[in-house]
Chains A and B, each alone.
Chain A
Amino acid sequence: MFLRTVWLVTRKDLLIEVRSREILYTTVFFAVSCALVFAFGFVREGQPLGDAAAGILWIAIAFSGTLALGRAFERERQSETLRALMMAPVDRPALYVGKLVGVLLLLGAVEVVVVPLVALMFQAPLFAHPVLMAGLLGAGTVGFAAVGTLFAAMLVRARSRDVLLPILLYPITIPVIIAGVRGTGALLQADVDLPTARLWLSMLVFFDVVFITIALWTFEPAMTE
């Protein structure tokens, strides 16, 4: 039943997104703009400065993720549909996971565009170790979105939610961003450091487990007004 609820919520979110394409277009546009702006600053005469690519990739993902999280819950606020969902006789954490999966699919679509773009503009070998890179991106995105989905849901009725979301989200997800940047950096350096990349990937998986456990545990009490 839990998984069926997750599927229903995710499918509903995707159906709405397919109709409006509002979040996908805005987040992809924002992530691409972000990568382009940084490219102007960190690429001189065709050569990127230092190992900027890893940091820029994760900044683009985090910023566009924040945008997607805000909009995903703004939809639930407009007609107070989140209240209707909270009234349903289902496990409330399943609603959280359903929203989380929807956000993850959107961020996955953003990454499909932004990763090749960063690889191209910064001449970064992001596809040299595809499995490890995909693992870092996947685990990092899950950790970021897990915290973000919880905070976005909690803030849905707050008046200054647009300001509060990044203020709350970034400090908590700093470990995820650092692990993502360091792990990606280890794969991009001239002398590829696979053990370090694996270590950061393990750290990301650990953060994911901690964040998702806390989110599942706190979602119901946090959503009860």
Chain B
Amino acid sequence: MTPLDFSSLRFTDVSRHFGRRRVLSGVSFRCDAGELIAVLGPNGAGKSTLLSIAATLLDPSSGEVHYGEYTAGDAGGELRGRIGLLGHDLYIYPELSAAENLLFFGRIYRLPGVEERVEAALHRAGLAGRDDPVATFSRGMRQRLALERALLHDPKLVLLDEPFTGLDDAAIVALRDRLTALRGRGCMVLVTTHDLETIDGLVDRAIVLQKGRVAEIAPGAGSLRERYRRLCGAGS
């Protein structure tokens, strides 16, 4: 079976409210294959909600999300199998070891050669030979494992919510290299972060969510943080 393929993610006038609280309001943007986009904004701006909608875990209240020519309703499980999500929570079982976690998710995703993939992932995460439960790991180690879990199935669309949290300098450099490689492979990558210095120069574009609406940070003079502050207003 050929895996479902798509080369763009398109949000068209997407709104989402929880009860009377409107989190996203008429959000439209597009991400093409090989593009790395930063989704920025203050706490509570709706960044995680946007990623949940892109991950098909949350339905928009109105508007449409297209994955190439498909929608989440059209493609269902096949589409979900092409999306990799690293959430704010890490989506790993603390009682299991790193290898057991990756093997479980690899088998659920029906990955061919799952043992080899898991071994390679453990090496990349620097966790080869760690047989103890994940509960004993540091935050940075768990974050590295969670990233490998999210990317284990070679997703086409990669959604990373605060992926730099808890990582040391070496792991940050490794993650930047990994993101560059994903872009080189033609993946679409959306990253939310508050660590603008780390992603400055790495991302192709940056969009900002503010009061549920989206605005794009124009390329220009100054660092990403300076341009972000200019757009949002000083002190944001």
Check B109 for interface membership: any CB of A closer than 8 A. Answer: yes
Report Cα–Cα, A91/B107, bound state, in Å.
Answer: 14
- Once A79-B90, A88-B80 are accepted as A-B contacts, the answer to whether A16 and B96 lie under 8 Å apart by CB is yes
Candidates B57, B100, B104, B107; contact of A87 at CB < 8 Å: B57
Candidates A8, A75, A79, A86; contact of B107 at CB < 8 Å: A8
B108 engages A8 (CB within 8 Å) = yes
Check B112 for interface membership: any CB of A closer than 8 A. Answer: no
A89 engages B92 (CB within 8 Å) = no
B110 engages A89 (CB within 8 Å) = yes
A87 engages B93 (CB within 8 Å) = no
A residues in contact with B200, CB < 8 Å: none
Check B78 for interface membership: any CB of A closer than 8 A. Answer: yes
A224 engages B59 (CB within 8 Å) = yes
A80 engages B89 (CB within 8 Å) = yes
A20 engages B95 (CB within 8 Å) = yes
In the complex formed, the residue of A with least CB distance to B4 is: A89
Report Cα–Cα, A91/B76, bound state, in Å.
Answer: 9
In the complex formed, the residue of A with least CB distance to B16 is: A225
Check A160 for interface membership: any CB of B closer than 8 A. Answer: no
- Once A19-B133, A84-B105 are accepted as A-B contacts, the answer to whether A78 and B94 lie under 8 Å apart by CB is yes
B57 engages A19 (CB within 8 Å) = no
- Once A15-B100, A80-B87 are accepted as A-B contacts, the answer to whether A89 and B81 lie under 8 Å apart by CB is yes
Closest Cβ–Cβ distance, residue B88 to chain A (whole Å)? 8
Check B149 for interface membership: any CB of A closer than 8 A. Answer: yes
B residues in contact with A16, CB < 8 Å: 93, 95-96
Check B50 for interface membership: any CB of A closer than 8 A. Answer: no
Q: Using a CB-CB cutoff of 8 Å, which residues 86-104 of chain A contact chain B?
A: 86-92
Closest Cβ–Cβ distance, residue A220 to chain B (whole Å)? 9
B residues in contact with A9, CB < 8 Å: 108
Contact with B along A8-30 (1 / 0, CB 8 A): 11001001100110000000000
Check A83 for interface membership: any CB of B closer than 8 A. Answer: yes
Candidates B55, B56, B87, B93; contact of A12 at CB < 8 Å: B93
Closest Cβ–Cβ distance, residue A91 to chain B (whole Å)? 7
A19 engages B95 (CB within 8 Å) = yes
A88 engages B96 (CB within 8 Å) = no
Check A192 for interface membership: any CB of B closer than 8 A. Answer: no
Closest Cβ–Cβ distance, residue B202 to chain A (whole Å)? 25
Beyond the given pairs A8-B107, A15-B95, A79-B91, 10 more chain A to chain B contacts, judged by CB atoms under 8 angstroms and listed by A's residue number, are A12-B96, A16-B93, A16-B95, A80-B87, A84-B105, A85-B108, A88-B105, A89-B81, A92-B77, A225-B57
- 8 pairs, A vs B, C-beta closer than 8 Å: A80-B91, A84-B149, A85-B108, A87-B85, A88-B109, A224-B57, A224-B58, A224-B59
